[in-house]
Amino acid sequence: MDVPVRGWIPVSWKAELLRLLEPPAEKWPVPSPEEIVRGYGRALPADYMWLAETYGSGEISRYLSIYPPLSAAEIGTRPGVFPLSAEPPEDEKEYESLDPAYLQPGGLLMWGRSQTDDIAFWSPVGDPDQWPVVIRQDPWRPGPTWTRYDMGVVEFLVRTFHGQLADNPFSSDELRTQPPSFERD
């Protein structure tokens, strides 16, 4: 999907991410589509799979860890995309914007984590290419704890880097105030 970004239109979200964030020279080996379905019970979003193959497991700006897709045998044994559910909230503030579906087993798939303990998920309902990004910010930070973004991972990252989301999705301005960089794990 091509949409205006501060007065100009990127060729695509992928092309804009490549312009902003230099990828490593070598592609990352990702599990086969069959192995992804065997491990996760469904495909993962195509833009995320492109991100995983292009950049691999690592950190953006030494702030946001991007987890790789794992084979069925690796899920739960090392950092990677992981199905889980939200923890039941301990206080009223944590209920803000909490979709009850997130509390169900497998109600979320974690794909990243920030240095300030914000967690990046998908809400895996329906077509994987339509899964929204869901961010759980530190509940002690002002503002909503749970925020849903109806866009894919690549668009979400580009809009975050450009400061185009209504509010900062993370507890720190690291991704909005400096040129992004990527380091593999």
Please report whether residue 131 resides in a domain.
yes
Domain that holds residue 126: 27-178
Indicate whether 104 pLDDT > 90: no
* Cβ-based neighbour number of residue 78 at 10 Å: 11
pLDDT the model gives residue 85: 74
Please report whether residue 50 resides in a domain.
yes
Indicate whether 96 pLDDT > 70: no
Give the number of residues written for the chain. 185
Indicate whether 59 pLDDT > 80: yes
Please report whether residue 122 resides in a domain.
yes
Please report whether residue 156 resides in a domain.
yes
Please report whether residue 44 resides in a domain.
yes
* Average confidence score pLDDT of the chain: 87
Handedness of CA 154, 160, 161, 162 (dihedral sign): positive
- Percentage of the chain with pLDDT > 90? 65
pLDDT the model gives residue 102: 78
DSSP one-letter string for 6-55: TTB--S-HHHHHHHHSPPPSSPPP---HHHHHHHHSSPPPHHHHHHHHHH
Question: Is residue 100 very low, low, confident or very high in pLDDT (cuts 50, 70, 90)?
Answer: confident
Indicate whether 99 pLDDT > 60: yes
Number of domains in the chain: 1
Average the pLDDT over 87-116 and give the result. 78
Please report whether residue 92 resides in a domain.
yes
Q: Which residue, chain included where needed, has tokens 């923890």?
A: 87
Please report whether residue 90 resides in a domain.
yes
Please report whether residue 20 resides in a domain.
no
